[in-house]
Amino acid sequence: MLTREAFEEASQIVRQVTEDTRLVYSDYFSSQCGNKVWLKPENMQVTGAYKIRGAYYKVSTMSEEDRKKGLITASAGNHAQGVAYAARKYGCHATIVMPTTTPLIKVNRTRSYGAEVVLYGDVYDESCAYALKLAQEKGYTFVHPFDDPTVATGQGTIMMEIFKDLPLVEYVLVPVGGGGLATGVSTLAKMLNPNIKVIGVEPSGAACLSASLKAGHVVTLPTVSTIADGTAVKTPGEHVFPYLQKNIDEVITVDDDELIVAFLDMVENHKMIVENSGLLTVAALRHLKVKDKRVVSVLSGGNMDVITMSSVVQRGLIQRDRIFTFSVMLPDKPGSLVKVATAIAQAQGNVIRLAHNQFVTTNRSAAVKLTITLEAFGTEHKEMILKKVREAGFEPRMEDAAL
């Protein structure tokens, strides 16, 4: 049972290992959605995510005998690090089963805490099934990442801190994968003030809670597909689902493209690295149907590998029309390239890459292809550049802008 006494106990215990992630007011996101927005930066925890709360509290409640058996769990990365960190603190062995698609940074950091990492399955659900099999075969103590009321109680300590920092909070947005965080936060929120609205946010490509709430019981999605790897879960927790039914006021789903733009906004306006799952609540701000409310977005984690980060930044710049590519056909004679370059310079466009292809046709006097990738300030500036190119006598054709 998730009780107020348990939440109070958990709050005292997790303080031993957590950072004080005080709320950060966001002028930028407040102006974007018409509400007063605060961020709860759990990406700043020692393991890079809120998961250390539930994992550490769970291990603290175990008997010495259960800890000595060794711990095992399945995780896309953040719970893995939480369990590994807790195991090291309590001096016990931990085995972590992670999907083969887990970002390298999460794998390496989990190993850095002394845990044994086993890569198995393409998604969390497959990893979990294998971890349960190993637990049965070897007698390990299984620590579920979300479908455990004790773990959920540990995650709910976030709400205790939010309420302390902002007693008049009206809306709290939490990311949803399997539902442990949403369970803890929503249950404690209703205990503290039944008028607080708690909104779960899922990636549209892994909306298992939305499907389950609609059906009235836990359902399993046939597949999941999302860049939000930390919330790529097919089935919400059976044990926590009743709490979600009772305490979650609404579920918002967010497309991957929205997460890409949210990453760019977070980096540029708050200088913080937040992983895609942690950005669900930021992307959801635009979907809120209320105005002038006090809203807290929980940033659940910041464990993103550099390769994924660079890809997300690139796609975000392209979506915002700050990077774009076009091609023009021009005669193969001196001065043609200069005309195009001059038009771009007049519009203050910045050339990133240029390709001059003389071999697209045998008629070189009429058809040499020039492909240019440019940096712009946004859509309005992009259109100004294209207009200048047309005025110079060329017809630009838009191309894929991948760098």
The list of the chain residues with pLDDT below 50 reads none
Write down all domains in the chain, each with its CATH number in brackets.
Answer: 4-46+149-317 (3.40.50.1100), 51-142 (3.40.50.1100), 322-399 (3.30.70.260)
Q: Per the residue annotation, which of 51, 58, 234, 382 is the catalytic one?
A: 51
What pLDDT does 361 receive? 65
Q: pLDDT tens digits, residue range 346-401?
A: 999 999 998 887 766 666 555 788 999 999 999 999 999 999 999 999 999 999 87
Residue 300 annotated as catalytic? yes
CA neighbor of 138 nearest in space, from 110, 152, 124, 118: 118
Distance CA 225, CA 276 (A): 13
Residue 51 annotated as catalytic? yes
Burial 383-398 (b: 16+ CB within 10 A, else e): ebbbebbeebebebee
Q: Per the residue annotation, which of 297, 300, 327, 336 is the catalytic one?
A: 300
Distance CA 250, CA 252 (A): 7
What pLDDT does 365 receive? 59
Percent of the chain with pLDDT over 90: 83
